[in-house]
Amino acid sequence: MQTWQLPEHIADILPERARQLESVKEQILALFRVHGFELVHPPLMEYSDSLLTHIDTGLSLKTIRVPDQLSGRQLGIRADITPQVARIDAHLLAQNQGINRLCYSGSVLHAKPDGFLTTREPYQTGAELYGCTDTAADIELIDLMLKSLKTGGMANTILSLGHIGVFRAIATAAKLSDSQSNQLLAMMQTKDREAVRALATSWQLDDIWTNALALLPELYGGREILQAAKQRLPQLSSVTQAIDVLEQVCAAFPEQAIHIDLAEVRVDNYHTGLLYAAYAPDHHDAVARGGRYDGLGAYFGRSRPATGFSFDLRVCGEYLAASTRPEAVRVAVADYTKAIDKINELRGNGICVVVDYGVADNSGSLKRLVWQGNKWLVQ
């Protein structure tokens, strides 16, 4: 094995791509800032208990664990920044009883890739809003998500909406156990209506609940799906409330392409209500995901309503134009000390100045800093 080889689904980011990603990162963080979101930098590693690995099966499988040689406790390398931000809101910012708007951008590490073409080291970027139960907060975050993706080169996105509350209301009414609910949650992702029906039938559920569960994989499409859901699903108050929330979101984005999927009930245990995602042309999976996760902070000592989204900044690189290296000015190594004041002036104005050692390099610069007419000039 070559010592320079990296693990599977792990890759270096080379200069052109790195310039591109850092540039779009700056723009997106600036966008977050003008919308009132404050930047936080949670640590890459924490005690594994703090990363919710023991209460979220999906997250647990993604988390890499190592022993801490200082404390003897188990450490986890973060696989998701959202729980860390919930900890910050619940504990470090507990003095604020109102709304906290927080954002972040940093690497996470997955034990296994989510798919054949995905990296194990996404550059997770996102925003979270704590302290508001109103659907208007979800709408604010969805709007910010779409603006962020547009900044990252993805203008023609499709907004996908779901609501975990629909499934959970039916599961509760049918008196399903946690184990049964989890089996159906996984099955819903495949849209296999007959498999859902067969499993529900084997549990001898009442027909009304068996039919409702088997119907969910069919309830996907455009905005008209919500009317069909109202007519065909059981008249449970929680189902009605969930559909009302979805209708409010649809009304807030009249010009946006929207896809409704009531079987979109992803396996993150901490999500509690509205689910939203964005899809871009020619991409195999969602380019951003978010949703409501009320009460997650209770694990850290303060239960708070919350909604937020995140995406892998690396995906933006696939949609952005190639980044060119800034043009540089060369200065001969023999002149460097004598020209230092001019060099500092140029660099202070954002102009790249490189030292010419007389050896070929990759700067590609044709401009030079020379002494002429008793002053330093760029030629």
77 annotated to a ligand binding site: no
204 annotated to a ligand binding site: no
CA–CA distance, 158 with 149 (Å, rounded to integer): 11
CA–CA distance, 156 with 278 (Å, rounded to integer): 10
Alpha carbon 354 to its chain's center: 37
CA–CA distance, 361 with 357 (Å, rounded to integer): 9
Say how many C-beta atoms besides its own lie within 10 A of residue 260's C-beta: 24
124 annotated to a ligand binding site: yes
84 annotated to a ligand binding site: no
Nearest to 267 by CA among 191, 210, 189: 189
372 annotated to a ligand binding site: no
Nearest to 268 by CA among 247, 241, 296: 296
SS3 content of the chain, % helix, strand, coil (to 5): 40, 20, 40
End-to-end CA distance of the chain: 49
81 annotated to a ligand binding site: yes
DSSP 53-83: TTT-HHHHHH-EEEE-TTT-SEEEE-S-SHH
DSSP 152-213: TT--S-EEEEEEHHHHHHHHHHTT--HHHHHHHHHHHTTT-HHHHHHHHHHTT--HHHHHHH
Say how many C-beta atoms besides its own lie within 10 A of residue 135's C-beta: 19
CB 119 within 8 A of CB 21: no
Residues comprising the binding site for L-histidine? 80-82, 124, 128, 266
Residues comprising the binding site? 80-82, 124, 128, 266
